């Protein structure tokens, strides 16, 4: 595995994300700047400058024409990727914690924090890329149920049917994306839900938590599919395409680490087999907790962003793709034989 160290941010990373083609990597940080990097060599293509506070989240439209960022400066901004210009700003009453386009980027969800007596919400705004001026009138505002914790993360499920949200009390919710009705809630974590990322077809998702675990949950029936134990707080989790793996990133918070040895903080990315739940490997390198992980859309590598201010970009070597358990080899051979018989 060949890691490339991306040095460009001056403060801890909040989120890293690949565009749909995977040729570009986007990163946002508490230093209020968003960076765009070539994922092949780690060269910085440019920055998005305009926020006046920590940036917490970023997303990119399917054609990599526009990007949206959410910041603690009480705004979400829409950017033209090619020129780096900010074309629109949505102002919010509290800091923005999450942003995500739906599948065709005709809508965007903006998750705001619950502070200063204002309730945290998930607002859905319409997006029209044919014009610069955007509607500031949300299509839907989702407020949390009183019995659930504050929203911490949210994303769109398959077919944009549901919004899946994570809460700071360890709960997760399934919300109708048209009506805002809470359809299901479950509590698969004992601590704050720190990240939520979907499978490529968005029919199941993984959540990570400070409770040192990650869980795989089905969208349709909202049932627990798998649970993974990391032995350290987990800040981010991804499901890998191509291989049946998941990758977790996290580590002890700096205030909880009593020595300066990074080994004590468990600042590692851990690869688990998604189905068998065995830990397959660990990737060290960060000098502080890993705050965010993104997987390349074609499954060829991943990026991690740390509290240390660095992004580490990893390209998987061939053995990563070749490795199979004996039962997987047998199943693949049986499947191939049955396909040949059928044809």
Partner 1 sequence: LDSMEADANLREIIMRRKKLLKEWKEYRDFVEAHLKELGLYEEEKKEDVEVIE
Q: Pick between residue 52 and residue 324 the one whose CB is nearest to partner 1.
A: 324
Provide CB contacts within 8 A for 264, sequence distance 6+: 252, 257, 258
Shortest gap between Cβ of 225 and partner 1 (angstroms)? 7
User: Binding string to partner 1 for residues 172 to 211, with x set by CB under 8 A, is what?
Assistant: -----------------------------x-xx-------
User: Binding string to partner 1 for residues 139 to 178, with x set by CB under 8 A, is what?
Assistant: -------------------xx-------------------
Q: Pick between residue 160 and residue 169 the one whose CB is nearest to partner 1.
A: 160
Under the binding rule (CB under 8 A), the answer on residue 275 touching partner 1 is yes
Interface residue with partner 1, options 327, 333, 337, 338 (CB under 8 A) = 327
Under the binding rule (CB under 8 A), the answer on residue 115 touching partner 1 is no
Under the binding rule (CB under 8 A), the answer on residue 328 touching partner 1 is yes
Under the binding rule (CB under 8 A), the answer on residue 276 touching partner 1 is yes
Segment 230-249, which members bind partner 1 (CB under 8 A)? 244
- Altogether, the residues listed in the chain come to a count of 343
Q: Which residues bind partner 1 (CB under 8 A)?
A: 158-159, 201, 203-204, 218, 220, 225, 244, 275-276, 325-328, 331
């Amino acid at each position: 595995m060949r890691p490339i160290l991306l040095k460009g941010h001056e403060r801890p990373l909040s989120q890293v994300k690949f565009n749909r083609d995977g040729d570009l990597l986007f990163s946002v940080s508490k230093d209020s700047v968003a960076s765009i990097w070539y994922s092949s060599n780690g060269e910085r293509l440019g920055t998005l400058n305009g926020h006046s506070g920590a940036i917490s989240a970023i997303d990119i439209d399917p054609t990599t024409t526009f990007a949206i960022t959410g910041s603690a400066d009480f705004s979400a901004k829409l950017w033209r990727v090619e020129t780096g210009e900010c074309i629109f700003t949505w102002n919010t009453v509290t800091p923005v914690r999450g942003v995500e386009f739906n599948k065709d980027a005709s809508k965007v969800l903006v998750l705001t924090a619950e502070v200063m007596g204002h309730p945290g919400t998930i607002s859905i705004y319409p997006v029209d890329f044919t014009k610069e001026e955007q509607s500031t009138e949300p299509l839907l505002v989702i407020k949390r149920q009183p019995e659930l914790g504050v929203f911490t993360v949210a994303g769109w499920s398959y077919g944009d049917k549901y919004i899946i949200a994570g809460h700071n009390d360890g709960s997760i919710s399934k919300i109708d994306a048209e009506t805002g009705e809470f359809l299901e809630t479950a509590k698969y974590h004992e601590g704050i839900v720190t990240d939520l990322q979907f499978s490529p077809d968005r029919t199941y998702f993984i959540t990570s938590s400070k409770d040192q675990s990650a869980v795989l949950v089905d969208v349709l029936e909202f049932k627990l599919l798998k649970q993974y134990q990391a032995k350290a707080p987990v800040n981010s989790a991804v499901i890998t395409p191509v291989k049946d793996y998941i990758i977790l990133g996290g580590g002890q918070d700096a205030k909880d680490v009593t020595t300066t040895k990074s080994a004590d903080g468990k600042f590692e990315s851990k690869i688990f087999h998604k189905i068998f739940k065995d830990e397959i490997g660990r990737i060290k390198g960060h000098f502080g907790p890993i705050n965010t992980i993104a997987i390349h859309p074609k499954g060829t590598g991943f990026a991690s962003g740390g509290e240390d201010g660095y992004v580490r970009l990893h390209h998987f070597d061939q053995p990563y793709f070749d490795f199979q358990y004996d039962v997987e080899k047998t199943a693949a051979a049986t499947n191939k034989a049955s396909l040949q018989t059928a044809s």
